[in-house]
Structure 1
């Protein structure tokens, strides 16, 4: 299940990427999580980060590890999320932050391998 980014901004010169996503109640991510009180699972938030890295032109990103991940806010259908990813200077390490308005939703470090598309 891929997310459709509302807008997409890449700035490879500074090693920063950003995008925004509006969560919709019809998304399969909310199905069964939870029927009477839908919330966006943490794994879906991490998938947004992976999708953004994968669209950066570096190839297909394969997650190999996570560090210092913190989930700070529950995400409900209809929320606008801003995703920021910064390359740490190494091709396989990224610092990410997801916010909703002024509130931090999720943050941490992601480690990946890159496979170039043929």
Structure 2
């Protein structure tokens, strides 16, 4: 995990096993530097890091990811835009599911399997 700084959170709304963050992706974020000179684009690794950080923080998990599942980047996130990040929890499987969107426009989505003590034990064997 790169532990990037978070974007401006305009609002957040939680209900049950899901939380919605409305984010402002400011053009002056350092992640746009050099990515790319012709058209600045928010790197996928930054989007992933924000989902991990905000999801683990909200649902009370340590920032330990075992695997990334079904990771998709559908459209580019551009400077000075607003997006919604939805994160839900599958507590039984210790997974977080995230999606970046704005209305019908989908930017990225994925599923994160979180590391547990049993994951660490099986990896050490």
If the length of structure 2 is used for normalisation, what is the TM-score?
Answer: 0.79
Counterpart position of 2:70: 68
Q: What SS is found at the alignment partner of 1:95?
A: strand
Say whether the 8 Å CA contact 2:42–2:79 is kept in structure 1.
yes
Q: Select the residue among 2, 6, 11 that pairs with 2:5.
A: 2
Q: In structure 2, how many angstroms separate the alpha carbons of the residues matched to 1:65 and 1:104? A: 22
Say whether the 8 Å CA contact 1:17–1:52 is kept in structure 2.
no
**Superposition deviation, residue 18 in structure 1:** 1.4
Q: What SS is found at the alignment partner of 1:2?
A: coil
Q: What SS is found at the alignment partner of 1:33?
A: coil
RCO greater where, 1 or 2, for CA within 8 Å and sep 6 or more?
A: 1
Q: In structure 2, how many angstroms separate the alpha carbons of the residues matched to 1:105 and 1:56? A: 22
**Superposition deviation, residue 50 in structure 1:** 1.0
* Structure ranking higher in helix proportion: 2
Say whether the 8 Å CA contact 2:59–2:89 is kept in structure 1.
no
Q: Structure 1 residue runs of 4+, over 3 Å off?
A: none
> Unmatched 5+ residue regions in structure 2?
117-125
Tell me whether 99-108 or 1-10 shows the greater mean CA deviation.
1-10
* Residue 97 (structure 2) pairs with residue 100 (structure 1): no
> Unmatched 5+ residue regions in structure 1?
none
If the length of structure 1 is used for normalisation, what is the TM-score?
Answer: 0.83
Counterpart position of 2:43: 41
RMSD, matched Cα: 2.0
**Superposition deviation, residue 57 in structure 1:** 5.0
Counterpart position of 2:123: none
